Chains A and B, each alone.
Chain A
């Protein structure tokens, strides 16, 4: 469904390299894209995959590649190039168990840090997380739209359990956001490659090969795109890379809340674990335990306002994610104004609804300890988030 979403979004170029569990996207694009007037081809490695996509995007084509953690590691150089050169491109990152080559056929949500915090300078770029086949379609379209609109790389995050599970999708019920095209410069009134009025503006795009000369670079540059040592103009353009994302953060926020005004605790999750979490919420409510739920689809930029809305009135927040150290929890921790934030974490297999229920009960004290089933080695662990430290100025 990622491929289907990409095709619907107007993707015209795909370069791929085989890797479990992302190969299905590659194969579908190889089968389908040519018939839709686009090009799909096999690259000799993941570095090439993304470079080819960036090259094609510089010529004006919407472009995408798909990979998993080990391939993403190789792409990070070029993701940074796309970010710096303001080249739209979408990367579908289907996570598997890491580190390194890890487990090719085991799901995981361990690439949150690696996906977002991979740029020198720590720039923000959009990362969306899909939990099922339908969301793969919808969020891939969103990924393309934001990539084109903001001239930025965008990551569409899923994992083996989302990507390699066969499930039916009702096409009629899918959200189909209108396609967004990048803003093209006026060939009659050529302007500098990176010309902006306000720091958060997105410069108009001119294609390499078009009638207006284009100067593109991955180095620090002036408005003309010329490599320059830092000057106020160069620094402003570096700040602009971050500001253009922040300025649209509220518009990019995508969440699926299921809130209960009587709840004293909030469960937050994303991707594959959001499905188990949703089921756990039903189980707890059936037992008469009021709880709110928030599935976050736009992991980055963090949908702060939605998070604060959902967290208003609750004392404890749980974050369920299939990684060992609570990567997204670490991101959210400083944003929760000191509320108690607990992680429900596990690796090696999906966190089950029962495990989430047990973890919440244990932490919330809704049942006496003696009633818990016996400890199981794979049982999800509950971890206290590090409290934000006060830093002296």
Chain B
């Protein structure tokens, strides 16, 4: 019995006498029997409204009763899982009403776009029956309902037309009273992709109140709305999203986590950072508990005590400000320092200022903000203006080092100013990195060779460019051409 019958033999329908839902439930059961699908290969997803009670009538198939309109969305999730499950083969059948269709409209549209292998049976009785006959988005013009006492003034949504625009492959419309509805439902279920059947019926509780809606009168309403009956012309069959996805992942390999050993992960970009060069010291595994000999205890490097160094780098969007800051962090990291980097830019991202806040510390960094910066690097007027706006300039102290492009107009800021023509000498896109190299040339923080592993993290085509920026900055520093304020 479990393999042959879908509807419970002794099913007691919870519907009002004459309700179309009962007809649809019987026709669905007939369709499933004709298709001879194993009951456990079917899941009925339902939600709120009288139609949502249908799951209780099917004792052998899986049933998932959801929140209003979400039965489609949960069915999508279940169907998508097919792509990665070892034993796929589940067919979700979604039973919703016109109310559920509208509140879950986005899910229907996306299901059609994705072409997930689900079948939606849309029970359109033109109103909300369970809650007392309120009008819905599919109520015909002029219909009197409990919430449109003067007649509905809003034209109904042609859901099939909408879903056709969303590339649905199987769309059909039929009356619940049609004797061959089971055939259409079976065709929809057998269709390998998204299918939807809009089933027109009457709410016997509320649909007849004040409206001519029975039999031929219902057909009149449908004609007036220009709805065609039967299977509609739709897109040609195409692979489902799950099929496309499965095809893709079968060609993918290479797990990200390397087996054994440790690795340093860039927490924002999630990419592994290159290990520091072998000669950098004994702790080859990234974050170091002690410093490489090359930077510790050497009086030429600025970070020797436990104090962290806070740096702000500001410039113009699209001029590699944040990527140069990231390169600085990678270099610092490979020399055994702890780093944090935070970026900021206007919401549009591609215009205006671009800014990075960096902390370099020989100790693990707790607080990632900066109460006052040690070094401010600004390589464009956009960047400088933002530093004014965001309060950075107000936090400067006489000890703050300002490394500025010579083109920036400054008004006697607090701090030690070093001004150089980074934009002119290095080009605007290299200015940030050149300015960083210039600063480090004046106040070394880590050995120059730390840049090697940072550069190694760049795409090959950017090596020469970045090296050139570093060279220009270092040259400017070695020329001693700093214009101290």
| Interface hits, A162-217 → B, CB 8 Å | 164-173, 208-217
CB-based contact B65/A218 at 8 Å: yes
- The 8 Å CB contact of A170, one of B43, B248, B286, B366, is B286
A172 touches B261 (CB 8 A): yes
Contacts of B257 in A (CB 8 A): 7-8
Instruction: Kindly state the separation between the CA atoms of A32 and B271 in the bound complex, as whole angstroms.
Output: 11
Tell me the smallest distance from the CB of B242 to a CB of chain A, in Å.
8
Which residue of B has the minimal Cβ distance to A174?
B262
Interface size on B, residues (CB 8 A): 76
- The answer, yes or no, to whether A38 is at the interface (CB within 8 Å) is yes
Contact B84 A165, beta carbon cutoff 8 Å: no
Complex Cα gap A36–B344 (Å): 32
Which residues of chain A have C-beta atoms less than 8 A from B366's C-beta? 275-276, 278-279, 353
CB distance from A352 to the nearest CB of B (A): 6
**Contacts A47-B73, A51-B74 known; A171 to B59 CB distance under 8 Å?**
no
- B55 engages A215 (CB within 8 Å): yes
A44-B106, A165-B268 known; A209-B39 Cβ under 8 A: no
- Scan residues 302-344 of chain A and give those whose CB is less than 8 A from a CB of chain B: none
Find the residue from B43, B263, B347, B367 having the highest chain A CB count within 10 A. B367
Which residues of chain A are within 8 angstroms of B369 by Cβ–Cβ distance?
A: 161, 276, 349-350, 352
Count class of interface residues, chain A: 35 or more
Q: Are A169 and B67 in contact (CB under 8 A)?
A: no
Assembled-state Cα–Cα distance A58/B261 (Å): 36
User: B138 in the interface, Cβ–Cβ < 8 Å?
Assistant: no
Taking a contact as CB atoms under 8 Å apart, the answer to whether A208 and B90 are in contact is yes
Q: Are B262 and A170 in contact (CB under 8 A)?
A: yes
Does any Cβ of A come within 8 Å of B107's Cβ?
A: yes
Does A41 belong to the interface (CB within 8 Å)?
Answer: yes
A166 in contact with B85 (CB, 8 Å): no
User: Chain B residues near A59 (CB, 8 Å)?
Assistant: 77-78, 81, 85, 90
When chains A and B are docked, how far (Å) is the Cα of A172 from the Cα of B287? Answer: 10
Asked if A219 meets B65 with Cβ closer than 8 Å, knowing A44-B109, A164-B342, the reply is: yes
A171 to B107, CA, bound (A): 40
CB distance from A180 to the nearest CB of B (A): 19
Interface stretch (choices B19-27, B333-341, B446-454):
B333-341
Cβ–Cβ < 8 Å partners of A209 in chain B:
40-41, 43, 62, 78, 85, 89-90
- Given contacts A168-B339, A171-B263, A215-B55, whether A353 and B367 have CB atoms under 8 Å apart is yes
If A35-B249, A170-B262 touch, does A215 touch B63 (CB 8 Å cutoff)? yes
Contact with B along A4-21 (1 / 0, CB 8 A): 100110001101000000
Q: State A211–B48 Cα separation when bound (angstroms).
A: 27
Name the residue of chain B whose CB is nearest to the CB of A167. B340
A55 in contact with B61 given A35-B252, A350-B368 (CB within 8 Å): no
Chain A, 225-242, CB within 8 A of any chain B CB? 225-227
Max chain A CB contacts within 10 Å: which of B261, B340, B366?
Answer: B366
CB distance from B290 to the nearest CB of A (A): 13
Contact assessment for A58 and B347 in the assembled complex, using a CB-CB cutoff below 8 Å: no
Could you give, for residues 147-171 of chain A, a 1 whenever the CB lies within 8 Å of some chain B CB and a 0 otherwise?
A: 0000000000000010011111111
* Chain A minimum-CB-distance residue to B69: A47
The answer to whether B342 and A168 touch across the interface, beta carbons within 8 angstroms, is: no
Residues of B within 8 A of A210 (CB): 40
- Please report which residues of chain A, range 47-64, place their CB below 8 angstroms from some CB of chain B when the two chains form the complex: 47-48, 51-61, 63
Chain A residues within 8 Å of B261, by CB: 172
Docked-complex contact A218 and B67, CB < 8 angstroms: yes
CB distance from B120 to the nearest CB of A (A): 14
Q: Is the CB of B80 within 8 A of A56?
A: yes
A80 nearest CB neighbor, chain B only: B67
Q: Is the CB of B110 within 8 A of A44?
A: yes
- Tell me if A105 and B347 are in contact (CB < 8 A): yes
Distance in Å from the Cβ of B272 to the closest Cβ of chain A?
A: 9
A385 at interface by CB-CB < 8 Å: no
Is A168 a contact of B286 with CB atoms below 8 Å?
yes
* A260 on interface, CB distance cutoff 8 Å: no
Is B287 a contact partner of A168 (Cβ separation < 8 A)?
Answer: yes
Decide: A1 and B70 in contact? CB cutoff 8 A: no
Tell yes or no: A77 within 8 A of B by CB.
yes
Q: Is A116 an interface residue (CB 8 A)?
A: no
Q: Which of A44, A60, A80 contacts B85 (CB 8 A)?
A: A60
Interface string of A53-86 (1 = CB under 8 A from B): 1111111110100000000000001101100000
Question: CB distance A51 to B76 under 8 Å?
Answer: yes
Question: In the complex the two chains form, what is the Cα distance from A334 to B427 in whole Å?
Answer: 62
Chain A residues contacting B65 (CB-CB under 8 Å) are 216-219, 227
B265 lies within 8 A of chain A by Cβ: yes
Please tell me if the beta carbons of A39 and B245 are within 8 angstroms of each other in the complex. Answer: yes
B131 part of interface (Cβ distance < 8 Å): no
Decide if A56 touches B77 in the complex (CB within 8 Å): yes
Interchain CB contact under 8 A, A15 and B110: no
B341 neighbours in A (Cβ, 8 Å): 165-167
The residue in chain B whose Cβ has the minimal distance to the Cβ of A350 is B369
Does any Cβ of B come within 8 Å of A112's Cβ? no
Q: Is the CB of A4 within 8 A of B265?
A: yes
Contacts of B53 in A (CB 8 A): 227
CB proximity of A65 to chain B, nearest CB, Å: 11
> CB of B66 within 8 A of chain A?
yes
Determine if A139 is an interface residue (Cβ-Cβ < 8 Å): no
- B425 on the A face (CB < 8 A): no
Q: How far is the CB of B377 from chain A (nearest CB, A)?
A: 18
Interface centre among B53, B73, B267, by most chain A C-beta atoms within 10 angstroms, is: B267
In the complex with contacts A165-B342, A167-B267, A208-B43, A216-B73 CB distance below 8 A: no
- Judge whether A34 and B64 touch: CB under 8 Å: no
Nearest-neighbour CB distance to chain A for B384, whole angstroms, equals 20
With A170-B264, A171-B262, A352-B371 known, 4 other A-B pairs at CB within 8 A are A7-B257, A63-B77, A215-B55, A353-B366
23 CB-based A-B contacts, threshold 8 Å: A4-B265, A4-B270, A7-B256, A7-B257, A12-B84, A15-B77, A35-B254, A36-B256, A37-B249, A52-B74, A54-B77, A55-B78, A58-B74, A77-B67, A78-B70, A80-B67, A81-B70, A167-B267, A170-B285, A209-B90, A210-B40, A213-B59, A275-B368
B residues near A (Cβ < 8 Å) are: 39-41, 43, 53, 55-56, 59-67, 70, 73-81, 83-85, 89-90, 106-107, 109-110, 241, 245, 248-249, 252-257, 261-270, 273, 285-287, 326, 329, 333, 338-344, 347, 365-369, 371
